[in-house]
Structure 1
Amino acid sequence: MATHAAMPTRGRPRRRSRTRQHTASAWAVPATLGAAYGLYASFILRNNGASGGRQFWYGLITAVVLAVLCFALGRIQHTLLPLVRGAAYGALTAAAIGLLVGLTGSSVLRSSALGLAVGLGMFITAFYIFYTHERT
């Protein structure tokens, strides 16, 4: 006797919620990274002088920008392929490190080279992790 292909399930059908709940770590990790990055950028700008408004605002702006970019990348990372996800993490890391090195007064070439080197290392590491832990 043939049965129907769609067998009924037990219980009530669950409705899928359109809103996605954010866990505590989804907010805490970008906020912590942003705060640490902003404090370090502010510390570099101080340059053994007195703290001022310029350092405070620059540190606050860099902290907010990095935290927002990290949060946004964390929200969309599951929709990306492992190669693109690794490239996104590498690009974010390269830009962040390049900016910090540029704040020290180094040349543009040195800050670009160091940012590229660290970003390439992050790309390779992130791609390896995401590719080997990919769910099929």
Structure 2
Amino acid sequence: MSHAVPTSGVPAERNPFARPRTPNVFSERFHRNAQASTAVVLGLVYGYWVAANNRSGGPITGWNVLLGFVSAFAFAALYLGIHALAPHMRREVHALLWTAFAGCAFGFLYSQTGASVLRSTGMALAVSAVTMATLFYRYYTHEDAEGHRIR
């Protein structure tokens, strides 16, 4: 059975057992650019994947390329929107937003393979359930009730 370790009341600076935090060596501008770059790269990968699933190994057509770029744009825009909005929500809603995003993204991706609507919905719900359980656990253990990160 595990128990909390008693603290001695020594400040973290003088505590020899406290782990020092790693310094943030990058600027805010770098973090904003990295966030936008991540959304673009993930969007392009998602769009390519959607287009590849849609053509099922057939020839690349103009409509297929358009589907890929529209999917990439929608994915990146929703990713950035949720990434900006979710931290301001309570942990339950935060997890639910990312769950809905992951489930819809996977469901659309899976539907492009030619699977039935029921199969695509079932697979999307399965991915959503796993995502919800994982994210809720993560946010529940890393945030307080108001949604502030525990450091």
Query: TM class, shorter-chain normalised?
Result: 0.7 to 0.9
Summarize deviations over 1:104-131 as a string: whole Å, max 9, x none: 1111000000001001111111111112
Paired residue for 1:3? none
Cα distance in 2, alignment partners of residues 123 and 30 from structure 1: 21
Summarize deviations over 1:61-102 as a string: whole Å, max 9, x none: 000001000000111122101100101111001001111111
SS at the partner of 1:51? coil
Given the alignment, which residue of 115, 118, 122 partners 2:124?
115
SS at the partner of 1:23? helix
Given the alignment, which residue of 62, 78, 85 partners 1:69?
78
Gaps of 5+ in 1: 1-19
Cα distance in 1, alignment partners of residues 36 and 62 from structure 2: 27
Within-5 A mapping of 1:1-136:
23-134=32-143, 135=149
Cα distance in 1, alignment partners of residues 139 and 81 from structure 2: 18
TM-score w.r.t. the length of structure 2 is 0.73
Question: Between Structure 1 and Structure 2, how many residues are aligned?
Answer: 117
Deviation at 1:57, TM superposition (A): 0.2
| Identity across matched positions, percent | 30
Cα distance in 2, alignment partners of residues 32 and 128 from structure 1: 27
Amino acid at match of 1:95: C
Q: Following TM superposition, where does structure 1 have runs of at least 4 consecutive aligned residues deviating by more than 2 angstroms?
A: none
Cα distance in 1, alignment partners of residues 34 and 134 from structure 2: 21
Summarize deviations over 1:30-70 as a string: whole Å, max 9, x none: 11211110000011112221111011000000000010000
RMSD over aligned CA atoms reads 1.5
Cα distance in 1, alignment partners of residues 138 and 33 from structure 2: 23
Amino acid at match of 1:41: V
TM-score w.r.t. the length of structure 1 is 0.81
